[in-house]
Amino acid sequence: MTRPIQNPVKRALKAGKPTSGAWLSLCSALSAEAMADAGFDWLLIDMEHGHGDYQTLLTQLQALSASPTVPFVRVQANDAAVIKRVLDLGACGVMVPWVNSRAECEAAVRACKYPPQGVRGMAGSPRAAGFGRHAADYWARANDEVMVIIQIETLGAVADIDGLLSVPGVDAAFIGPADLSAAMGHVGDPKHAEVQAAIGRVETAARKAGVALATISRAWEDARDLYARGYQMVTLCSDASLVVQGASALVKSFAEIASR
């Protein structure tokens, strides 16, 4: 069942509130439903590093529609055609990877907005518009409700961060510590002083621009510190990590007994 677009997460961010979220990487409607039932504010379906296609994306969005959890999608590229299809399927926002400059940021925002603010093609038939049942309402509200999250993970993005975050329509800046540390020559070491300095520069620019800060965490202790530093969107886990870590912990416990 589809319903008129609503994005309480966007309103929470504008009010300065923290939100809880997680990745969906398993391309599974069942894991999406289970994660939503846990009570996350939002879930981010990964189509950049995830293995799904538009059909698996559709089933996950259908599973999430039964809950108040807001669905976002990390698209595989800053491509207006890709972004249009994802939004037409019913995502309430997109995260765009590898945004390197103000011009690329402007293109990402335009792809998410209907004219005159953007270039998103209009149609009343997609799932997001209720297959035509509430197309006029969707068209009227989508530009305000759809969230635009840009991913900061390159040297170019850090160098032009003030320009990126001054683009109207950017709602959140998601810092990708793994790619950023690799770009700076510190693969696997996001805690390196140079990487942390770059992250600090992004944090300062986001606060100045009034753009919500977002990033990934590896454990609750990490997430708690990020929230304390003013981050409003933190991915607390993923469906894949919960399965892997839970299974590994049980096997390890068994191995300790079996080896006696």
Which run of H or E residues covers position 226?
helix 220-228
Contact yes or no for 56/31 (Cβ under 8 A): no
Contact yes or no for 95/75 (Cβ under 8 A): yes
**Of residues 49, 51, 134, 192, which has the active-site annotation?**
49
Angle between helices 54-64 and 29-38 (to 10 degrees): 30
Tell me how far apart the alpha carbons of residues 49 and 87 are, in angstroms, rounded to a whole number: 19
β-pair type (93-96, 70-74) = parallel
Is the bond preceding residue 177 a cis peptide, omega within 30 degrees? no
Tell me how far apart the alpha carbons of residues 116 and 214 are, in angstroms, rounded to a whole number: 28
Known catalytic residue at 49: yes
- Which residues are known catalytic residues? 49
